[in-house]
Structure 1
């Protein structure tokens, strides 16, 4: 007997309604209609990958940045509504974002 069955036995009159959060993915991150922009720059001679164009909440933005950094095993930061990842990881980042349900646009090179 799982938890749902136990709750049904305790509360027989309760009707379960399914949430209609079709714009969020499995991690609860807001999915937007506009594509994210993934670009490559050199700052002080070091390569960085920049992701910008996210229109969701700041909490979701930080969760997305942390997920990208931990999966790639690299450093980075979030500043001025941009995710800055140390190194040139455009193909890996674009693939990860597409798996999460985002549209991604590659800019520059």
Structure 2
């Protein structure tokens, strides 16, 4: 499944309050950067994820966010440092941008 223009426009609009966004297509999806630093992924199925490390990761896990797990061709699962953004955040660009700032600050 490939990303549509409307999926990309939605993701960029959601994080627009950050300013200075760039993107790079990869693996059928897209990476989203702020000032050259990756903070989010838009998967090919249009699921939007936020990168989290350290205390920010602990915060998202405490809040019940689902971590992205990928199943490899050999059947093993690996967890990625990305969390699926809940629907209530997808409706609020200010909240999404605040969380994106926290993601960027977590490194």
Q: TM > 0.5 between the two?
A: no
Q: Which has the higher Rg, Structure 1 or Structure 2?
A: 1
Which structure shows the higher helix fraction? 2
Which structure shows the higher strand fraction? 2
TM-score w.r.t. structure 1 length?
0.31
TM-score w.r.t. structure 2 length?
0.32
